[in-house]
Amino acid sequence: MTHYKSNLRDIEFNLFELLNRQELLGSAPHAELDVETARGMLDEVNRLASGPLAESFGDGDRHPPVFDPATHSVHLPESFARSFRAFMDAEWFRLELPPELGGLAAPRSLIWGVAELVLGANPAIWMYASGAAFARALWELGTQEQRRFAEFAVERRWTPTMVLTEADAGSDVGAGRTRAVEQPDGTWHIEGVKRFITGGEHDLAENIFHLVLARPEGAGPGTKGLSMFLVPKFLVNSDGSLGERNGVYATNVEHKMGLKVSATCELTFGAGRPAVGTLVGGVHDGIRQMFMIIEHARMMVGTKAIATLSTGYLNALEYAKTRVQGGELAAMSDKTAPRVAIIHHPDVRRMLMLQKAYAEGMRALVLYTATFQDAAQLAAAAGTADERAAAVNDLLLPVVKGLGSERAYEMLTLSLQTLGGSGYLQDYPIEQYIRDAKIDSLYEGTTAIQGLDLYFRKIVRNKGAALAYLLGEIMQTARTEHGNGRLKEERAALARAADNVEAMVTAMHGYLGESLERPAEIDRVGLNTTRLLLALGDLVVGWLLVRQAEVAMRALDAGATGTGSGAAGAAGGAAGAASGAAGAASGAAGAASGAAGAASGAAGSGSGATGDDIAFYQGKVAAARFFTETVLPRLAADREVVETTSTDLMDLPEAAF
């Protein structure tokens, strides 16, 4: 038995009952997949994740990578190498790839469902194994020779890095000083030092390919002057065999708080021998190209955070059900009252339900976001573009990454708190979860950067179109009557929360407008961008929990009457009728999918919900009720803070801090 506790039931609930992803399967570009196959994939990955992948989780933390400065090499523990090989040998990385690269062209929503299982079990495995995703980007962006390189990278299982950060520049990528010097043969020599490079050196694969941002000689300042270069650890011959060692070396490995088995390296380019690279796509368009990879990485980080919270919560839940301590609060004065499991104590239940609501609500956030990636994928396969899907995906990405990382870390402290003093011990995995999860709010853009991105790029630059669409979908749910009035209070809370978020945005727009005449007013925006990010995230989580409760109530009603084709089929029909935001088809199609749900054990085959399902669906309703009653009301206070923000804090002298 390993540390990892998955929630496959909830992943499938989101994919096939809430978001009706089955309607994408069986036709182009997903003609090779059907619901049974998709469920089978998830089940197989779940078994792999819960066993061989999770087995080395603790050992990788206790025995981190060993750096040899004399040879610039990094050795990883054999236990982790075994887990990594188990994942690579199963070739689930092919889900990421188009058929031209030997892939399955799976829907993005299914890919992120799979990703959660791996990231929850042993996140560094998914990160080292990202070669397929990076090769896909190189295939889309690269020259003919680089496309061939991408094929070699997939076939030979090379691992990638994204190389942006420099010690002096930090998150200010445009301040980077690494330079690129063009050579007579058309290659480039890269010179400089990069820091915080995930997987920059290791012994898991025969080659590592670095995608590096550098400034060509004579290029302008800032991010617009950066270009992206392909710089492999070993140069590659035309037949894919390895050539001589390239001039890029690890010159340090960081000693970190957590996620230790992921080797975070300092890389030095061009010291001693040239670091030879090629210009990606033959064009100087580095920041746009790199953002294709950054956006994938941000989605991954949010999914990782949420996956870690989920297993943290489920570990805490198991402990709370088995740890006997004290009597019930109602019998506190009776010293002879029987001792009970701590799940009977009110504050423990409060902590558990808050963890559950965020874990399940943020999982829905990831997969809901992925539905817009599905829509963009479908449009691309048809030779068109879905501008709305692209814009809403762009809007939600900083929320997935920012809210996911912040709330997961916060909730994991409650997972540990549930265990009391035992949670502080390495006997349980939660202390490692917390250490591993802290990085999620830091790398691939800190939470502050996500907040700035959300407001200035995804709301202001988009003229509020994507946000208006999202708020419109939320208000549609708030105004409907699904549930025969049983969700009336939850819908009212949702409407109030949406109004509060909209008012926050309106106030910030006002400050932005005032800054045109009084530049210092922009600070009133900057003091609230993270607040807006978290408020919008909580609103979307609350909305998705209410939508889940709608589906659950229909399933419970179907189970109670014994009619229809099983609870999952009825729930699928409900989701189909209400899932226009995710691009799902009609409720009839959702209802028709009940057989697949029944086949998976999610529901009875014609007799309504089973005992386990009844509890599952009841939990969905309870989570929505708890979140709308205890979390969404906080948005009113956030609104008041935003609307009354002054610049006093910015006027305070540094010495006063």
Higher pLDDT, 550 or 588: 550
Percent of the chain with pLDDT over 70: 92
Which of 96, 116, 431, 444 is catalytic? The answer is 444
Q: In this structure, what are the phi and psi dihedrals at residue 608, rounded to the nearest 5 degrees?
A: 85, -170
Q: Please give the Cα distance from 144 to 148 (Å, whole number).
A: 6
How far lies 501's CA from each of 177, 285, 498, 539, 542, in Å? 40, 36, 5, 8, 13
Residue 602 has pLDDT above 70, yes or no: no
**559 falls in which pLDDT band (50, 70, 90)?**
confident
Q: What pLDDT does residue 530 have?
A: 98
The lowest-confidence range among 67-81, 518-532, 566-580, 611-625 is 566-580
Task: Answer whether residue 455 shows pLDDT above 70.
Answer: yes
Lowest mean pLDDT among 215-219, 330-334, 455-459, 486-490: 330-334
Q: From the CB of residue 201, how many other CB atoms can be counted at a distance below 10 Å?
A: 25
Pair of tokens at residue 301: 């980080």
DSSP at 89:
H
Structure tokens given for 192: 């400089």
Structure tokens at 489: 């209070």
All CATH 2.40.110.20 domain ranges in the chain, comma separated: 8-285
Q: Which residues contact 552 (CB under 8 A, 6 or more apart)?
A: 571, 616, 617, 618, 620, 621
Q: Are 98 and 136 in contact (CB under 8 A)?
A: yes
In this predicted model, what pLDDT tens digit does every residue of 95-153 receive, in sequence order?
Answer: 999 999 999 989 999 999 999 999 999 999 999 999 999 999 999 999 999 999 999 99
Query: Per residue in 182-192, is it b (16+ CB within 10 Å) or e — as a string?
Result: eeeeebbbbbb
Q: Give helix then strand counts, H and E, for the chain.
A: 23, 12
Q: What is the mean pLDDT of the chain?
A: 92
pLDDT at 607 over 50: no
Give the model's pLDDT for residue 483: 67
State the Cα–Cα distance between residues 237 and 243, nearest whole angstrom: 6
State the DSSP H helix or E strand holding residue 180, giving kind and residue range, or none if neither: strand 179-182
295 is catalytic: no
At 22 the pLDDT is 97
pLDDT band for position 1 (cuts 50, 70, 90):
confident
pLDDT in tens, 300-318: 999 999 999 999 999 999 9
CATH class of the domain comprising 8-285: mainly beta
Task: Please compute the mean of the pLDDT values over residues 404-433 and round it to a whole number.
Answer: 98
User: How confident is the model over 343-380, as pLDDT tens digits?
Assistant: 999 999 999 999 999 999 999 999 999 999 999 999 99
| Tens-digit pLDDT profile for residues 229-275 | 999 999 999 999 999 999 999 999 999 999 999 999 999 999 989 99
Q: In 3D, which of 134, 123, 267 has the Cα closest to residue 196?
A: 267
74 Cβ partners below 8 Å, 6+ apart? Answer: 65, 66, 67, 68, 201, 202, 203, 250, 253, 263, 265
pTM for this prediction: 0.92
